[in-house]
Amino acid sequence: MYKIKCTTRFDITATGTRRPFKTETRNTDQTHREHQIWQKQRNQQSNWETINQLISLRCLPEDITTPVANQDHTWSFEFTVPDLRSIGRDDDELCYLRADADQVPMIVGLDEDTDTDTLLRTQDALCNTWFELVPINKPKGIAQNG
Residue 145 lies in a domain: no
Residue 109 lies in a domain: yes
The 10 Å Cβ neighbour count of residue 58 is 16
The answer to the question of residue 140 being in a domain is: no
Total domain count for the chain?
Answer: 1
Q: Domain limits at 110?
A: 2-21+34-134
Residue 77 lies in a domain: yes
Give CA torsion, residues 110, 47, 135, 142, to 10 deg: 110
- In-domain check, residue 119: yes
> Quick count: other Cβ atoms within 10 Å of Cβ 116?
21
How do residues 15-68 score in pLDDT, each as one tens digit? 988 777 666 656 666 666 787 888 999 999 999 999 999 999 999 999 999 999
Residue 45 lies in a domain: yes
Q: Which residues of 71-105 are buried (b: 16+ CB within 10 A; e: fewer)?
A: eeebbbbbbbbeebeebbeeeebbebbbebbbebe
Q: Specify the pTM.
A: 0.85
Distance CA 143, CA 48 (A): 38
